[in-house]
Amino acid sequence: MISSIAELIADRIGTMPAGERRAAQTLIASYPMIGLKTVAEFSAAAGVSSPTILRFVARLGFQNYPEFQSSLQDELAAQLQSPAIRTLNPPSPGSGSASPMLEATLDNMRETFRHLSDRQLADIATRLAERRGKTFLIGGRFTDPLARYMAAHLAIIQPDVIHLAGQESMWRDRLIDMGKRDVLVIFDIRRYQDSLVRFAEKAHQRGVQIVLFTDQWLSPIARFARHVIAGRTAVPSAWDSSAALFVVAETLIGAVTRQLEADGARRIREMEGLR
């Protein structure tokens, strides 16, 4: 059953030629506001010509553009009048043909944060913000991108943020630079990598404070870690999901940024100047 124009588009977008598909994507991207404007504005936003927009609405089954707009407006009106039914798509949260994957991921995040106190996050953020030493980040086979993501942001708001990439032997050489005043952020989920565990242990011996992102079964690195963040990873897929950890990472990035606001703002301005 097709109840909204958005669904209608999703249903037919596959059969559309390139130009009309761009129109469809533009509309979906800022649904449905663009559709309420004039054909000229719509076409400009989509980067196509007016006739393409008209052919697009025609393909959706509307006689003309005004009819299409009216339909959008009716949809909007219905949405606004019953905020309860709002999220019009997932009528029964948790079911929907939508995506069991999405539902599981959302659940994972809620669960992850339920077991994560604001206090704990704040502590970690503070530790990362007080720049007594350097910040190292590293991850496993699938989680290294998370380390990179975090490093990319942190490196902008403070100095001495180092992502450990490449071969295992490369990291090991960096150990010599690491000491009590430094922090090591490690991402490690199943199947836990021996190389990471070994590395964490050595760092720990040198007095480095370890912040561990892992799954609910806890990587063995938890033994050495000062702070452990355990994220849910189970989803209906062949792979584990790192999405919950990703969100925690973003939250942390935000918190650190806030704490460094004064310093950070200056750094960011300087950086913008350099680009």
Partner DNA sequence: CAAAATACGTAACATACGGTACAGCGCTCC
Partner DNA sequence: GGAGCGCTGTACCGTATGTTACGTATTTTG
Among positions 98-157, residues that touch a copy of itself (CB under 8 A) are 98-99, 101-102, 105-106, 109-111, 113-121, 123, 141-142, 144-146, 148-149, 152-153
What is the closest distance, in whole angstroms, from the C-beta atom of residue 257 to a copy of itself in the complex? 5
What is the closest distance, in whole angstroms, from the C-beta atom of residue 247 to DNA in the complex? 30
What is the closest distance, in whole angstroms, from the C-beta atom of residue 248 to a copy of itself in the complex? 9
What is the closest distance, in whole angstroms, from the C-beta atom of residue 49 to a copy of itself in the complex? 14
Using the rule CB under 8 A, which residue among 16, 20, 23, 26 binds a copy of itself? 26
The rounded distance, in Å, linking the Cα atoms of 148 and 252 is 14
Compute how many residues bind a copy of itself; rule: CB under 8 A.
Answer: 84
- 146 contact, one of a copy of itself, DNA, none, CB 5-8 Å limit per kind: a copy of itself
Q: Would you count residue 18 as binding DNA (CB under 7 A)?
A: yes
The rounded distance, in Å, linking the Cα atoms of 112 and 10 is 32
| HSE-up (13 A, CA, CB side) for residue 56 | 28
Q: Would you count residue 33 as binding DNA (CB under 7 A)?
A: no
Contact 215, 233 (CB under 8 A): yes
User: CA nearest 147: which of 201, 113, 188, 181?
Assistant: 188
| HSE-up (13 A, CA, CB side) for residue 83 | 0
Q: Would you count residue 64 as binding a copy of itself (CB under 8 A)?
A: no
Contact 162, 137 (CB under 8 A): yes
Contact 175, 206 (CB under 8 A): yes
- The CB density around residue 161, as the number of other CB atoms within 10 Å, is 21
- The CB density around residue 10, as the number of other CB atoms within 10 Å, is 13
Q: What is the per-residue DSSP string for 166-211?
A: S-HHHHHHHGGG--TT-EEEEEE-SSPPHHHHHHHHHHHHTT-EEE
Q: Would you count residue 66 as binding DNA (CB under 7 A)?
A: yes
x/- mask, a copy of itself, residues 79-98, rule CB under 8 A, reads -x--x--xx-xx-x-xx-xx
Q: Would you count residue 167 as binding a copy of itself (CB under 8 A)?
A: no
Q: Would you count residue 135 as binding DNA (CB under 7 A)?
A: no
* Ranges within 204-263 binding a copy of itself (CB under 8 A): 216-218, 222-223, 226, 228, 230, 235-239, 241-243, 246-247, 250-251, 253-254, 257-258
Q: What is the contact surface with DNA in residues (CB under 7 A)?
A: 17-20, 38-40, 48-52, 54-55, 57, 64-66, 207
